[in-house]
Structure 1
């Protein structure tokens, strides 16, 4: 499914790679504020897709960025984009591999920053194994930074986001068979089956703590990157509930460090 969608994403206005080549930064303002200065640091991006967020950290001064994704076409697209921007593999490397096998796939044993961006964790069945893997790749004195869509939103009705209609604590795999992609909903696609898992906020935080990381903060944000609910409107570059509508957290972010 992901392999088929890579060329659609590369060509889509959603990712706007032509614009990215001049814009050079696709990170969200809260991410850059919370991660802070990355100048001279090494950064590993798990589940990097086509590499726009990974390369944004390189633009911001990271000494070396490494992106890992299980889709070979996505990795190839990321490498091509890095080359277009003048980054050789010594500065921006992309490798193919399953996130659970990342320690054996990435070129260095540990990194100052391990980063996971929005829309990644729902594809993983075992959050504890993910946390153990990610923690093992954080260098002493370094940290993991995670930004992710808030699991509460999956329990709310799709129209207004005001009614609980699904079980927040559900653990069963959710199987979907839907054509198109978030970057191009009308695209004709053949491989449409996907499987997702819901991980509560407590599950994620507890898994990182059990893996030996110290959670420094957990922040919740009332903005989204896509029209999750039918009544959303766009303000200040984000999708939000209308003014005066009761707010709920739509994204969360956390930082967890290693001694």
Structure 2
């Protein structure tokens, strides 16, 4: 039966529904953001600063309502940002105008995005809660690769796939690390506002680190850096405590586990 479900429409509807609650949430802190605070976290800021993105063409995949895209533009990047949610892109355009920042926002399924020629990018960026929405990482990695100029760089920061094997309370291992079938479930609220009156059906997929890296390498990219971190920069899971600034760990676990990873890959000169 799962094969007959329109996963794209399910997920698009869910993300459209989240947008107004996310914009109003303290999680996203939109008032402070409009005043100039960056929405980017220290892990990706360090990686992007090394690349000196000012003046470079930057593609932001799965941009949601645009905070990170606008933050990239504030760093000097010439930014194009893509998301499949109509509501998110509409609000992103409004937010960029309110912030007096120029970003080219595009409403499109990331998997069909296909720039070419002068439209290719120096830097492609994606972060936090991204690839779990795709059943096929080969198609996703192909988009990343074909969007990059020769010599371009892909920067990715996301939650470690091991985290997605736990149940919602982070008490039991409930999902396969090697997950071939979609996980179809009803979610209550949203990570940014757990009290939001939302009951959306979503479909997600777990992808292990080997699958992620192999897909990108098979798409012609070269791994330059891979790191794992024992914390989340967001307070977005159950039972977290903030041990250090923007370093949240599970309060009840007595061992350190990977919660985050970063990847930097380059498109080689052939």
For the criterion TM > 0.5, the same-fold answer is yes
CA RMSD of aligned residues (A): 2.0
Bigger shift: residues 149-158 or 128-137: 149-158
Given the alignment, which residue of 87, 95, 119 partners 1:81?
95
2:202 corresponds in structure 1 to: 194
- 1:130 equivalent in alignment to 2:140: yes
2:183 corresponds in structure 1 to: 174
- Do 2:231 and 2:249's aligned partners in 1 also have CA atoms closer than 8 Å? yes
Give unmatched runs, 5+ long, in structure 2: 1-13
Deviations 1:190-226 (A, max 9, x none): 5x11000011100010000000000101110111113
2:267 corresponds in structure 1 to: 258
- 1:146 equivalent in alignment to 2:166: no
Aligned equivalents of 1:241, 1:3: Cα separation in 2: 30
Residue pairs, 1:31-180, within 5 angstroms:
31-35=44-48, 36=50, 37-62=52-77, 64-88=78-102, 92-103=103-114, 109-156=119-166, 159=169, 164-180=173-189
Displacement of 1:23 in angstroms is 3.5
Runs of 4+ in 1 over 4 A off after TM superposition: 157-161
Displacement of 1:238 in angstroms is 2.6
Distance 1:157 1:98, change over 3 A: closer
TM-score (norm 2): 0.87
Any idea what SS the aligned residue of 1:154 has? helix
Bigger shift: residues 93-102 or 13-22: 13-22
- Do 1:24 and 1:59's aligned partners in 2 also have CA atoms closer than 8 Å? no
